[in-house]
Amino acid sequence: MAEQQATTNAGAPAAPQKVLPWLVIYVVGRLAITAALVLILWTVGLGSFPGLLFGLLLSMPVAYLLLRPSRDRLTAALLARSDARRAAKADLRSRLSGGQ
């Protein structure tokens, strides 16, 4: 649990990065877009397997365009989390080497 919380220069724990909500929003959005496109193609009359494959193919660019804001926020949260872990690792190494 101590790995998940980065410390600031004052030694107080920094706010944990919220990655999971953005990840869930992005994954659920991708699944919803795929399901909607497959359902639309099936109701139009495209067969079951070709409709599924074509719906999966169409969902990639549609999700790329529609889910850009949540993807950008997820990327920013992952980057902040990575920076916090890198800073905590550097702080731990400096404390273990004896330098303050």
pLDDT per residue over 71-99, tens digit each? 999 999 999 889 989 999 999 999 888 75
How would you class 53 by CB atoms within 10 Å of its CB: exposed for 0-12, middle for 13-18, buried for 19 or more? middle
- Please list the pLDDT of the chain residue by residue as tens digits (100 residues): 344 444 445 554 555 568 888 899 999 999 999 999 999 999 998 888 998 999 999 999 999 999 999 999 999 999 988 998 999 999 999 988 875 5
The domain in which residue 45 lies consists of 20-89
User: How much is the pLDDT for 99?
Assistant: 59
User: How much is the pLDDT for 1?
Assistant: 38
User: How much is the pLDDT for 97?
Assistant: 87
Residue 8 inside a domain? The answer is no
Residue 34 inside a domain? The answer is yes
Q: Provide the whole-model pTM.
A: 0.69
Residue 99 inside a domain? The answer is no
Distance CA 39, CA 57 (A): 14
Residue 95 inside a domain? The answer is no
How many domains in the chain? 1
